[in-house]
């Protein structure tokens, strides 16, 4: 008999207009690494929020058992006291506080009701060593990169003697190196007896370290696979309900000679971080071309894109940008939009979307002129366009009037892409367009890219997923420390060649 540390029975949770979980059953064995996978909007995050008390007892129906005992969590601290810790994709650290303050925030080490800072620092240091994070505990969290912050969150969980660690897409924003470190850490923690539940769209990491995988689809439990049954093809089939043989749809090369965008010796200095983020960058984009920007996290790819797009908040720039052969100087993204350039940000939460507004309002924003009649938005037209994108790229939402904040992560990303498309650009910059997107939807986005190219658009694509970048790009530039370190033709664009140039 399996030894289940956690059992969730017949969990049903509804939101207005959506049955997010429909009688879900989910069982996890003690000490295993159990992945939860499924398409965007399948209900993964919701299930974990039910488990951790973010949605309290009474907000859902069904039963949760820990080590055979029924539990009723009314708030997160209840589940924490029972040995659970959830690390959401939106990290919950306080950026202005130090690493050690964050680790012991809300469960301070006290002696006679006074915080014992020496002991706090000492203990924090111990937890940091456990997660192999080599930073000074006195550093502020805002000075750490995303991968390091993720590790601080785990250190915080460990400091509370966590027994079940829940991670919601922890590697979505990590580079390959940091992702690998994180996976290794989970394997280490398993040896110490920590049970881990992890949500991920990266099936490679699922097959690498999972002991079990549970697949959700449309709020239903489809299958639970044990170690010897786990393989990518089976997982994809259960996720999307059919098999996908070709992950990257074919595109006939369409590149024309006409250069639609060019930068010459572009430099950008970012005052906010006191650093030159773009150094002497000269790139070209031809009509009908997908040009990839490869490089490690922090190499300056997004900074280069932003410099082109005219988002010079904190930037001091020099060098030239030409659009259709004409020298331009954008001071504001609206000017770039007018000139036919749209940018879909990697940071959909902060730069891409207005979370409190609904789907249609978000999409409308990039092309109000198209919708306005005598300065007033034509509501009917707005609906028509929003519905068009909802259908075309399959945005899963009960209606286009849904607040974007309430959509699942991957569907927010789709709204962000729709915004870029609605601007009707002829040059589109896609920054990590498939981050947090499920395999089926990735295929839809690749297909969409191919269609846009067919219609004469030109695309700059930034992606940390090298296989995707290699498959989709006609040509690649590699960026390292703000510089273009090389240009690769499709034929020369191999993983190895890119990595050589990315690490110079
Ligand atoms: N607060 C909310 N209000 C209304 N609907 C919600 C809310 N949270 C989630 N939903 C809906 O519930 C469904 C499940 O969402 P959930 O976030 O659990 O998906 P997910 O599997 O985590 O997807 P992703 O891979 O995109 O993160 C979706 O249809 C989503 O739109
Ligand atoms: Mg989610």
Neighbours of ion ligand 2 (CB under 5 A): 45, 409
Distance in Å, CA 53 to ligand 1 centroid = 16
Distance in Å, CA 51 to ligand 2 centroid = 14
Proximal ligand: closest to the CA of 59: 1
**Residue of the nearest CA to atom 25 in ligand 1?**
40
Instruction: Supply the DSSP symbol for 98.
Output: B
Q: Is 46 in the pocket of ligand 1 (CB under 6 A)?
A: yes
Q: What is the pLDDT along the chain (504 residues), one digit of tens a residue?
A: 678 999 999 999 999 888 999 999 999 999 999 999 999 999 999 999 999 999 999 999 999 999 999 999 999 999 999 999 999 877 789 999 999 999 999 888 888 889 899 999 999 999 999 888 889 999 999 888 878 888 999 999 989 889 999 999 988 877 777 888 899 999 999 999 999 999 999 999 999 999 999 999 999 999 999 999 999 989 989 998 877 777 899 898 899 999 999 999 999 998 877 889 999 999 999 999 999 999 987 889 999 999 998 766 778 899 999 999 999 988 888 899 999 999 998 877 777 899 999 999 999 988 888 898 888 889 999 999 999 999 988 899 999 999 999 998 889 989 999 999 999 999 999 999 998 888 888 888 899 899 999 999 999 999 988 889 999 999 999 999 999 999 999 999 999 999 899 987
Distance in Å, CA 410 to ligand 2 centroid = 7
Closest listed residue to residue 427, CA positions, set 276, 263, 316: 263
Q: How far apart are CA 287 and CA 23, in angstroms?
A: 51
Q: Under a CB-based contact definition with an 8 Å cutoff, are residues 486 and 294 in contact?
A: no
- Helix residue ranges per DSSP H, 352-378: 359-364, 368-371
Most distant CA pair in the chain, distance: 75
Element (H, E) at 209: helix 203-209
Q: How far apart are CA 416 and CA 151, in angstroms?
A: 28
In this predicted structure, what is the pLDDT of residue 121?
92
Distance in Å, CA 431 to ligand 1 centroid = 23
Q: What SS3 class is residue 205?
A: helix
Proximal ligand: closest to the CA of 396: 1
Q: How far apart are CA 37 and CA 235, in angstroms?
A: 8
Q: Is 410 in the pocket of ligand 1 (CB under 6 A)?
A: yes
Alpha-carbon distance values, 413 to 111, 199, 362, 389, 408 (Å): 47, 17, 12, 13, 9
Beta partners for residue 317, in sequence order: 268
Q: How far apart are CA 189 and CA 205, in angstroms?
A: 16
Q: Is 48 in the pocket of ligand 1 (CB under 6 A)?
A: no
The predicted-structure confidence for 176-205, as pLDDT tens digits, reads as follows 778 888 999 999 999 999 999 999 999 999
Q: Is 20 in the pocket of ligand 1 (CB under 6 A)?
A: yes
Ligand 1 atom nearest the C-alpha of 438 is 25
Q: Is 18 in the pocket of ligand 1 (CB under 6 A)?
A: yes
Alpha-carbon distance values, 168 to 19, 37, 43, 76, 200 (Å): 20, 10, 12, 15, 7
379-392 helix and 409-422 helix, angle to the nearest 10 degrees: 120
Proximal ligand: closest to the CA of 21: 1
In this predicted structure, what is the pLDDT of residue 177?
79
In this predicted structure, what is the pLDDT of residue 312?
62
Distance in Å, CA 225 to ligand 1 centroid = 23
Which residues are CB-contacts of 226 (< 8 A; sequence separation ≥ 6)? Answer: 211, 212
**Residue of the nearest CA to atom 12 in ligand 1?**
20
Ligand 1 atom nearest the C-alpha of 49 is 18
Burial 23-54 (b: 16+ CB within 10 A, else e): ebebbbeebbbbbbbbbbbbbbbbbbbbbbbb
Ligand 1 atom nearest the C-alpha of 38 is 21
Alpha-carbon distance values, 264 to 255, 334, 339, 501 (Å): 21, 22, 18, 20
Q: Is 413 in the pocket of ligand 1 (CB under 6 A)?
A: no
Alpha-carbon distance values, 310 to 264, 273, 290, 306 (Å): 15, 18, 21, 6
Q: How far apart are CA 12 and CA 19, in angstroms?
A: 8
**Residue of the nearest CA to atom 27 in ligand 1?**
409
Q: Give the angle subtended at the CA of 54 by the CAs of 349 and 76, to the nearest 5°.
A: 115
Distance in Å, CA 44 to ligand 1 centroid = 8
Q: How far apart are CA 474 and CA 80, in angstroms?
A: 49
Q: How far apart are CA 458 and CA 341, in angstroms?
A: 10
Q: Is 411 in the pocket of ligand 1 (CB under 6 A)?
A: yes
Q: Under a CB-based contact definition with an 8 Å cutoff, are residues 47 and 8 in contact?
A: yes
Q: Is 407 in the pocket of ligand 1 (CB under 6 A)?
A: yes
Q: Under a CB-based contact definition with an 8 Å cutoff, are residues 212 and 228 in contact?
A: no
Q: What pTM, to 2 d.p., does this model score?
A: 0.83
Q: How far apart are CA 341 and CA 261, in angstroms?
A: 10
Instruction: Supply the DSSP symbol for 116.
Output: -
Q: Is 41 in the pocket of ligand 1 (CB under 6 A)?
A: yes
Strands 483-489 and 475-480: antiparallel
Q: How far apart are CA 154 and CA 158, in angstroms?
A: 6
Q: How many CB atoms lie within 10 A of CB 373?
A: 8
Ligand 1 atom nearest the C-alpha of 216 is 21
In this predicted structure, what is the pLDDT of residue 349?
74
Q: Is 38 in the pocket of ligand 1 (CB under 6 A)?
A: yes
Closest listed residue to residue 83, CA positions, set 91, 93, 73: 73
Distance in Å, CA 345 to ligand 2 centroid = 19
In this predicted structure, what is the pLDDT of residue 150?
87
Q: Is 171 in the pocket of ligand 1 (CB under 6 A)?
A: no
- Helix residue ranges per DSSP H, 66-144: 76-81, 99-103, 117-130
Element (H, E) at 482: none
Q: How far apart are CA 398 and CA 16, in angstroms?
A: 8
Structural domains of the chain sorted by starting position, each given as residue range(s) with its CATH number in brackets:
4-240 (3.40.50.300), 244-340+425-504 (3.40.50.300), 351-423 (no CATH)
In this predicted structure, what is the pLDDT of residue 60?
97
């Amino acid at each position: 008999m399996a030894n289940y540390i956690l059992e969730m029975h017949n969990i049903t949770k509804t939101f207005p207009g959506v049955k997010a979980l429909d009688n879900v059953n989910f069982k996890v064995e003690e000490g295993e690494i159990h992945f939860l996978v499924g398409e965007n909007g399948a209900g993964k995050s919701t299930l974990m929020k039910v488990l951790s008390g973010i949605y309290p007892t009474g907000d859902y129906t069904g039963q949760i058992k820990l080590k055979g005992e029924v539990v009723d969590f009314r708030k997160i601290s209840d589940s924490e006291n029972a040995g659970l810790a959830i690390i959401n994709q939106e990290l919950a650290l306080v950026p202005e506080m130090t690493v050690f303050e964050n680790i012991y925030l809300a469960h301070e080490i006290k002696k006679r009701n006074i915080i014992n800072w020496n002991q706090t620092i000492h203990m924090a240091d111990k937890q940091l060593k456990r997660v192999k994070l080599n930073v000074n505990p006195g550093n502020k969290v805002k000075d750490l990169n995303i991968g390091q912050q993720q590790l601080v969150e785990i250190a915080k969980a460990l400091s509370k003697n966590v027994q079940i660690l829940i991670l919601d897409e922890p590697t979505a924003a990590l580079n390959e190196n940091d992702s690998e470190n994180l996976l290794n850490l989970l394997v280490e923690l398993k040896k110490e007896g920590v049970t881990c539940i992890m949500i991920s769209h990266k099936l490679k990491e699922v097959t690498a370290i999972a002991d079990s995988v549970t697949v959700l689809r449309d709020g239903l439990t489809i299958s639970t696979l044990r170690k010897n049954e786990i393989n990518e093809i089976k997982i994809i089939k259960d996720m999307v309900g059919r098999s996908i043989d070709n992950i990257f749809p074919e595109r006939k090369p369409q590149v024309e000679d006409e250069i639609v965008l060019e930068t010459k010796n572009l430099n950008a200095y970012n005052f906010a971080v006191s650093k030159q983020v773009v150094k002497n960058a000269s790139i070209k984009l031809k009509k009908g071309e997908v040009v990839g920007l490869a490089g490690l996290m922090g190499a300056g790819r997004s900074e280069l894109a932003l410099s082109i797009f005219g988002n010079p908040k904190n930037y001091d720039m020099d060098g030239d940008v030409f659009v259709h052969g004409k020298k331009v100087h954008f001071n504001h993204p609206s000017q770039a939009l007018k000139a036919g350039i749209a940018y879909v940000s990697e940071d959909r939460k902060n730069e891409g979307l207005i979370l409190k507004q609904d789907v249609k309002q978000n999409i409308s924003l990039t092309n109000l002129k198209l919708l306005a009649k005598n300065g007033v938005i034509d509501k009917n037209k707005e609906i028509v366009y929003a519905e068009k994108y909802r259908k075309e790229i399959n945005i899963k939402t009960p209606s286009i009037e849904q607040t974007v904040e309430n959509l699942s992560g991957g569907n927010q990303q789709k709204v962000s892409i729709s915004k870029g498309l609605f601007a009707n650009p002829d040059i589109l910059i896609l920054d990590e367009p498939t981050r947090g997107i499920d395999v089926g939807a990735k295929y839809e986005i690749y297909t969409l890219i191919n269609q846009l190219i067919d219609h004469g658009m030109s695309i700059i694509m930034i992606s940390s997923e090298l296989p995707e970048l290699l498959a989709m790009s006609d040509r690649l530039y590699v960026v390292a420390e703000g510089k273009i370190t090389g240009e690769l033709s499709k034929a020369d664009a191999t993983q190895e060649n890119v990595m050589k140039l990315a690490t110079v």
